[in-house]
Structure 1
Amino acid sequence: MEQKTVLITGAARGIGAAAARTFAAAGYAVAIHYHTSESEALALADALTAAGHTVMTVQADLSDPEQVRQMVDNVLDNFCQLDILICNAGRSWTGLLCDMSDREWRTLMGADLDGVFYCCRAVYRHMVSRKTGRILTVSSMWGRSGASCEAAYSAAKAGVIGLTQALAKELGPSGITVNCVAPGVIDTQMNAHLGPQALHELAEETPLGRLGTPEDVASTLLFLASPEAAFLTGQVIGVDGGFL
């Protein structure tokens, strides 16, 4: 059977790294994208390679469309095809909207929304020409409901959901599915700044009584990439422990 390939953005740590490990264990050839976390990406790639998996690393600033194009070309040059794109990379910003600078707004949007657009556009024709493919995006529960003091982040993640649902309709006739996962509070480095007490309170607010793990999200992504999810498209799956 032909080995399937996946490109995961923001895969050096957190949800992206968990997805890289999960997809590699499932037999995929994995392209690990990173922007600035080179040492973590290379360490993950070395560990997966040592375990016998097919892995490569690619570096790109996803807010730069030319770098995204080169990244996808690099993956195709090495793997010859791209079956799954997972748009996971992102960043957060917490504070009052009135205190957010233009530069901070553009930086966040570049990472969280523009990068998703550039990645989807870069793989579009390749997947359409093959009449197959899966695009998976990672939004947030705040993209579904909005969060105080995270207005820009919420706006970007809501944009990811809208892009996902529209692209699902556009690419459906070509046999390509496009779905989104919307994580709740996940125990990652991105949320570490909240502090132990705040994280404890958020866990208590979650009906399942705990924070999510990167592996919780990764397993959902793997399902959405599987044959069992072939008739699912345009969906937003909340991996939030019932928070919303």
Structure 2
Amino acid sequence: MTDSTATPDPTEPPAAREPRRVVVTGADSGIGRACAVALAAPGRHIGLTWHTDEAGAQATAQEVRGRGAEAHVAHLNLTDPPSGSRVVDELAGAMGGLDTLVMSSGTGSSTLLLDMTYEQWREVVSVDLDGAFCCLQAAARHMVDGGGGRVVAITSVHEHAPRVGAGPYCAAKGGLGLLVKTAALELAEHGITVNAVAPGEIATPMTGQTDEGVLSGKDRPGIPVARPGDAREIAAVVEFLCSGAAGYVTGASWPVDGGMLTMGPMAGSHLQSHDWRRP
């Protein structure tokens, strides 16, 4: 395997490239943890960030090392968005460069707009949009210097469809989706692809389901596949988008939602009945 600290050869065929020096934000649990583990392999360096759960991040680091990769753990609080730039720079320095960024940090809300304070609005938008911009910009600068790379933003089905009580979350994820498209246009000439993955309901702490097994036993009438998703199902798509095989994929948003968006106005993880399946 190529030395993980070496600068990628821009003359390599795209399929020969692999994620060697990776940062995954929000890697202490859920989707971030699953992505970090999926991208770990011998010779790779995986930078992991955490906000409130250091023990969770250390558990992820242990899994990453168990797969033969080096793990680097850093604290990141994106309520101070410029700290995203600093932490990405620090991890890139520790790994000898950076060629892959997965942005999984995020927070949400369940407050109606008429009841929301400006401080609540700003906290969600700061983390989900402003912080993502700072991380993306810093990472892209390292990738330009290194000859290319991959950026994947974890957005949400609410990048595409609104939800009552989630105004700042929907606004931030929608904005992040368009930031991904703009970055894809601007960074393509540098050999950098930028894509989004838009999960539906995934069994993670953010949805009140702490990394539970979901492939059986959880009925979700409002989702065509009738269950929540597993974080590893998100990570599988992220792993592809970070690979050399995805070199011709950029500016796209990949829903991984069990078909929920396809249902349109009939959809919803809150539904209690399968009646929608019958005319």
Normalising by structure 1, report the TM-score: 0.92
**Residues in 2 aligned to 1:149 and 1:73: alpha-carbon distance in whole angstroms:** 35
**Could you tell me how far 1:62 is from its partner in structure 2?**
2.0
How large is the RMSD of aligned CA atoms in angstroms? Answer: 1.8
Count how many residue pairs are aligned between Structure 1 and Structure 2: 238
Deviation per CA, 1:18-55: give whole Å up to 9, x if none: 11111114763211111121111112213432553311
2:101 to 75, 85, 106: 85
Higher helix share: 1
**Residues in 2 aligned to 1:130 and 1:54: alpha-carbon distance in whole angstroms:** 20
**Could you tell me how far 1:234 is from its partner in structure 2?**
0.1
**Residues in 1 aligned to 2:63 and 2:151: alpha-carbon distance in whole angstroms:** 26
- The one-letter code matched in structure 1 to 2:85 is R
**Could you tell me how far 1:63 is from its partner in structure 2?**
3.3
Q: Equivalences for 1:47-62 in 2 at 5 Å?
A: 47-62=63-78
Partner of 1:211: 228
2:241 to 204, 218, 224: 224
Q: Equivalences for 1:22-101 in 2 at 5 Å?
A: 22-25=38-41, 28-101=44-117
**Residues in 2 aligned to 1:76 and 1:26: alpha-carbon distance in whole angstroms:** 18
Partner of 1:104: 120
Q: 1:179 to 1:51 in 2, by over 3 A?
A: closer
Give 5+ residue unaligned stretches, structure 1.
194-198
Partner of 2:176: 160
**Residues in 2 aligned to 1:122 and 1:39: alpha-carbon distance in whole angstroms:** 26
Q: 1:141 to 1:42 in 2, by over 3 A?
A: same
Rg: which structure is higher? 2
Normalising by structure 2, report the TM-score: 0.81
Q: Please identify, of 65-74 and 84-93, the stretch whose mean Cα deviation from structure 2 is larger.
A: 65-74
**Residues in 2 aligned to 1:173 and 1:53: alpha-carbon distance in whole angstroms:** 30
Q: Percent identity?
A: 35
Q: 1:137 to 1:217 in 2, by over 3 A?
A: same
